[in-house]
């Protein structure tokens, strides 16, 4: 599904150049649930930004579902993001003056799905994350865990190839974190490919594979025995 | 078609409604700008209407020529010689200068602008007395309050009739007294009043205290022979008055042996000059109004753009999220520009309504006549003026809306999503 070859990225900081990614090679197959771990400054967020087409690499190859991702125009990048990727953020990033349902429907709006169909589909996904009764509520009326579930529903609404979660539990307490991970595991069980960036060991072990980043290179890449989050909920 | 996209509009109104107080304050600038623009345009239109009304009685392309004393010796004549025109001159001028449309010879009793005592029933008035042809009415239109003006029958039969001014009437008659058919006495000759005229509230050539009698009657009653006082001339619309003026003077100078460089011997007054001055004045006034209005409007729209820039800054994160979810730069830009247009148009319409209401009230108070001391008549904007101002406003809002829109497009999703 995802294939990266010799990916490099550096940032200019005044006169110094900060080499963040120093040749990353890795491959993610369909249906995988991968945790990307590393301390801050290890380059994991940069890697996720490049994977999410939010940022471009300096060199290297990136192929997503057979499509080479290179030199995209803003418009093309927007289209690919919408079609291929679902984003889950640490701080949820819901639009605060839109209801839960409208937030979930937003990616579909950008796909030009007709209004009625959009609403129905959004409602289906809200139901899947167990928030149907909250459809008309504004984000400010929801708890942290509920907000993240709305965000997950939104990420899935456009039926992307890959879900990218950037510290999805970073702003949540541990019980709520496990609830969210339980949801992510269940979505993965249905065959969806998910990448989770985290620095929490317990969250990483709820995935099926852990990729360790340090100083811009992959130091460890191992398959693990998945810990089900269900038992903690 | 995005224009009918309900979601796009609801997005726009959602954002604008989020901070209603700020939106209203921002709109205030454009509201006031539009009020200023429309009021300025309306009053300059009103002023132009007023001038047009004031000049309504006088042909704009008219010219008056009279004789004076020479100021240069010429062909054995000494300077200071009094020139006297004759009735035949009028025929020659009309014949030789085809650009002249109407030529009305006139003779005046006494000296130029002289006062003659008119008697009636022991009352007197010191009035100007003119011998006229009916065609004079085509050069300076008389507003008749009662009766009629002189006609060709009066001329042919040298009838002893007269038309008097309203002021003359007030001096010679009791208030409300019927003047038509009554006689007045001038230099021992009785004339029957056939009409009373009112001054045109315009440029006063004849004065308000005057008596008009048929030219032929004048000749017989006062023995003026073929002498001629002055000529009121209307020139064809497509010809410049000064050109004809020079032709007439040249012709008369040759005929009366006047030095070609003597500018004092023949007096003339070019009415078109005043018209042109006034037209230029009102045109400039309109231009200046538009100019001021335009820049005020621009200031208002810039204020809107400024506020939108702030909202874009505030919404950086939201825009970033939208971009991450698949919003293309085009969609983002369109929304911001639409916000700019919506605020501007809405504010503009409010301002327009207020200003038009205000003009309508003034209009109602002034009525259809020029009022003393009010230099306005029917102050209102025309539909083209409205369309142009409105188009300008929308155009400006699009142009200036580009600034915040482009700022919004420059928001890169990655920057917007950076955790603080």
Q: From CA B333, how far away is CA B406, in angstroms rounded?
A: 7
Q: Which residue in chain B has the smallest CA separation from A98? A: B14
Q: What is the pLDDT of residue A208?
A: 94
Of B196, B63, B211, give the one whose Cα is nearest residue B139. B63
Q: What is the ipTM of this complex?
A: 0.89
Q: Which residues of B touch A87 (CB under 8 A)?
A: 324-325
Task: Report pLDDT for B420.
Answer: 52
pLDDT tens-digit series, residues B189-220: 899 999 998 866 555 567 778 889 999 998 88
Residue A139 pLDDT level (bands cut at 50, 70, 90)? very high
Residue A179 pLDDT greater than 70, yes or no: yes
**Residue in B15, B325, B409 closest to A110 by CB:** B325
Is A55 an 8 Å CB contact of chain B? yes
**Numbered residues of chain B with Cβ closer than 8 Å to any chain A Cβ:** 6-7, 14-15, 18, 317-318, 320-331, 409, 412-414, 417, 419
Separation of alpha carbons A195 and A187, rounded Å: 12
In DSSP terms, which residues pair with B165 in a beta bridge?
Answer: B197
* Tens digits of residue pLDDT in A22-34: 999 989 999 999 9
Distance from CA of A14 to the nearest CA of B (A): 18
Taking Cα atoms as reference points, which of A85, A54, A53, A50 lies closest to residue A163? A85
pLDDT over 90 (residue A57): no
pTM: 0.71
Residuewise pLDDT in 10s, chain B (420 residues): 567 777 778 878 877 777 788 888 888 988 999 999 899 988 888 888 888 777 766 667 888 898 888 888 888 888 888 888 888 888 888 888 888 888 899 888 876 667 888 888 888 888 888 899 998 888 877 778 888 888 888 889 888 999 998 888 888 888 888 888 888 888 888 999 999 988 665 555 677 788 899 999 988 888 888 888 888 888 888 888 888 888 888 888 888 888 888 888 888 888 888 888 888 888 898 889 888 988 988 888 888 888 889 888 888 888 888 888 888 888 889 888 988 888 899 999 999 999 999 999 988 888 777 776 677 778 888 888 889 888 988 998 999 889 999 988 888 887 777 765
Distance separating alpha carbons of residues B121 and B172, to the nearest angstrom:
8
pLDDT at B58: 67
Sign of CA dihedral A14, A20, A23, A24: negative
Residue B124: exposed, middle, or buried by beta-carbon count in 10 A (0-12, 13-18, 19+)? middle
How many of the other CB atoms lie within 10 Å of CB of B112? 12
Residue of A75, A90, A115 lying closest to B330 (CB–CB): A75
Distance CA B137, CA B145 (A): 15
Q: Which among A78, A90, A93 is the nearest to B326, CB-wise?
A: A78
Q: What is the mean pLDDT of chain A?
A: 90
Tell me which H or E stretch contains B172. Answer: helix B166-172
d(CA B49, CA B208): 23
Q: Tens digits of per-residue pLDDT, B336-347?
A: 898 888 889 999
Residues above pLDDT 70, as percent of chain A: 100
pLDDT at A128 over 80: yes
Place of tokens 């454009």: B30
Please answer yes or no on whether B6 and A115 come within 8 Å at the CB atom.
Answer: yes
Q: Measured between alpha carbons, how far is B231 from B107 in angstroms, rounded to an integer?
A: 9
Which ranges of B19-147 does DSSP label H, i.e. alpha helix? Answer: 20-54, 87-96, 136-139
Tell if the CB–CB gap between A158 and B326 is shorter than 8 Å: yes
Chosen for mutation from A75, A78, A82, A118 (greatest number of chain B CBs closer than 10 Å) is A78
Write the residue in A78, A98, A154 that is nearest to B323 by C-beta: A78
Put simply, the answer to whether A82 touches B326 (Cβ < 8 Å) is: yes
Q: What is the pLDDT of residue A143?
A: 92
Q: A92 touching B, CB under 8 A?
A: no
Of B318, B326, B330, the CB nearest to A81: B326
DSSP B82: B
3-state secondary structure of B39: helix
Sign (positive/negative) of CA torsion A63, A67, A73, A79?
negative
Residue to mutate among A44, A46, A92, A93, with most B CBs inside 10 A, is A93
């Amino acid at each position: 599904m995802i294939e990266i070859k010799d990916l490099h990225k550096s940032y200019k900081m005044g006169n110094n150049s900060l080499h963040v990614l120093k040749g990353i090679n890795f491959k993610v197959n369909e249906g995988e649930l991968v945790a990307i771990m590393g301390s801050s400054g290890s380059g994991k967020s940069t890697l996720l930004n490049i994977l999410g087409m939010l940022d471009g690499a300096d060199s290297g190859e990136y192929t997503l579902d057979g499509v080479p991702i290179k030199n995209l125009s803003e418009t093309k990048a927007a289209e690919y993001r919408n079609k291929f990727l679902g984003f889950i953020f640490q701080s949820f990033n819901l639009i605060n003056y839109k209801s839960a349902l409208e937030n979930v429907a937003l990616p579909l709006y950008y796909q030009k799905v007709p209004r009625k169909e959009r609403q129905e589909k959004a409602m289906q996904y809200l139901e899947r994350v167990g928030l149907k009764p909250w459809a008309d509520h504004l984000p400010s009326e929801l708890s942290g865990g509920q907000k993240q579930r709305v965000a997950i529903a939104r990420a899935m609404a456009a039926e992307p190839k890959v879900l990218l979660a950037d510290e999805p539990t970073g702003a949540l307490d541990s019980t709520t974190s496990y609830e969210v991970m339980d949801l992510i595991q269940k979505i993965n069980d249905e065959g969806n490919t998910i990448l989770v960036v985290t620095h929490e060991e317990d969250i990483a072990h709820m995935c099926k594979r852990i990729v360790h980043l340090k100083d811009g290179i992959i130091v460890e890449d191992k398959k693990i025995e998945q810990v089900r989050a269900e038992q903690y909920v | 078609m995005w224009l009918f996209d309900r979601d796009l509009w609801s997005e726009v109104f959602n954002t604008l409604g989020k901070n209603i107080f700020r939106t209203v304050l921002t709109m205030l600038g454009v509201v006031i700008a539009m009020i200023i623009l429309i009021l300025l345009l309306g009053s300059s239109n009103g002023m132009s209407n007023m001038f047009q009304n004031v000049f309504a009685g006088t042909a704009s392309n008219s010219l008056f020529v009279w004789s004076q004393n020479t100021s240069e010796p010429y062909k054995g004549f000494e300077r200071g010689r009094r020139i006297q025109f004759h009735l035949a001159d009028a025929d020659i001028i009309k014949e030789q200068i085809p650009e002249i449309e109407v030529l009305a010879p006139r003779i005046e009793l006494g000296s130029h602008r002289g006062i003659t005592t008119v008697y009636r029933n022991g009352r007197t008035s010191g009035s100007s007395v003119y011998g006229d042809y009916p065609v004079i009415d085509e050069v300076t239109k008389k507003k008749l309050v009662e009766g009629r003006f002189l006609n060709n029958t009066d001329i042919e039969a040298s009838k002893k009739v007269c038309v008097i001014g309203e002021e003359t009437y007030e001096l010679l008659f009791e208030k409300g007294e019927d003047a038509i058919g009554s006689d007045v006495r001038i230099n021992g000759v009785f004339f029957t009043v056939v009409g009373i005229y009112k001054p045109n509230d315009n440029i006063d050539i004849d004065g308000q205290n005057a008596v008009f009698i048929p030219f032929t009657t004048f000749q017989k009653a006062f023995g003026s022979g073929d002498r001629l006082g002055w000529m009121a001339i209307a020139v064809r619309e497509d010809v410049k008055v000064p050109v004809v003026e020079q032709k007439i003077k040249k012709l008369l100078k040759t005929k009366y042996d006047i030095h070609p460089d003597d500018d004092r011997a023949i007096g003339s007054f070019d009415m078109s000059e005043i018209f042109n001055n006034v037209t230029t004045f009102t045109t400039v006034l309109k231009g200046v109004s538009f100019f001021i209005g335009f820049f005020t409007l621009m200031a208002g729209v810039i204020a809107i753009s400024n506020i939108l820039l702030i909202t874009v800054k505030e919404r950086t994160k939201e825009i970033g999220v939208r971009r991450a979810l698949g919003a293309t730069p085009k969609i983002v830009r369109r929304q911001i520009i639409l916000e700019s247009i919506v605020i501007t148009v809405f504010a503009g319409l409010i301002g327009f309504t207020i200003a038009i209401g205000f003009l309508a009230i003034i209009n109602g108070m002034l009525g259809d006549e020029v009022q003393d001391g009010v230099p306005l008549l029917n102050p209102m904007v025309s539909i083209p003026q409205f369309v142009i101002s409105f188009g300008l406003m929308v155009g400006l809002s699009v142009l200036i809306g580009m600034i915040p829109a482009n700022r919004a497009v420059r928001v890169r999703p990655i920057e917007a999503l950076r955790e603080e």
